[in-house]
Amino acid sequence: MKVSYHGHSIVKVETNGKTILFDPFINGNSQTDLKVEEEKPDYIILTHGHNDHVGDTVQIAKQSGAVVIANNEIADYLSWQGLNTHPMHIGGSFEFEFGKVKLTPAFHGSALVTENQEIIYLGMPTGVLLMVEGKTIYHAGDTGLFSDMKLIGELHPIDLAFLPIGDNFTMGPEDAAIAAKFLNAKTVVPIHYNTFPLIKKDPHQFIDLLEKKNGKVMSAGEFIEL
């Protein structure tokens, strides 16, 4: 299984002949190496409804035929735009052809802001557990620190965790380091930083805070084999 990082919160997993793309915010993302027209995933997983996570989902899904996995509200909203969606919600899991997906809590917002200054509520934000090939990947989405991360790690031993560190809108490096301790993941990768001035952070500061020294800063396009 190949797991690659592509700036901001974009993660791509290639496993069992399928490609799963998390939070494909490409246009307007100064940190990514991806191009919208080149992406042909089989599945797209969205953690929440903010513009910098839903991103280019509609164009990518229409050109690839990807199934969009998201909370019920996001799935409904995107299905009205002609996309093939699979609705889920926090605490629920489903066995897909590539593996198992389970949505976890996240503490954040989840709404789409339109060009007409409208705010469209899109349900609860989530984290995602992806269980494939005997491995577990945790994408925290956007979230603050919360103590139930301990429970997530206890119930689902995590091989690779992606945690936001940008502060202001999510955890900063200090809180993310505590989250990493709670989750007890084998490897931790920082995400959601440096894309905008408000979330400019040094990812190596986060790595230095980790008690287990199990962090890895990934540049856009870099991958890990699990």
**What are the structural domains of the chain?**
2-216 (3.60.15.10)
pTM over 0.95: yes
What residue ranges of the chain have pLDDT lower than 50? none
pLDDT value of residue 67 = 98
pLDDT value of residue 186 = 98
pLDDT value of residue 18 = 98
Q: How far, in Å, CA of 178 to CA of 194, rounded? A: 21
Q: How far, in Å, CA of 131 to CA of 20, rounded? A: 12
Exposure of 39 in the CB half-sphere (CA atoms within 13 A): 33
pLDDT value of residue 176 = 98
Radius of gyration of the chain (CA): 16
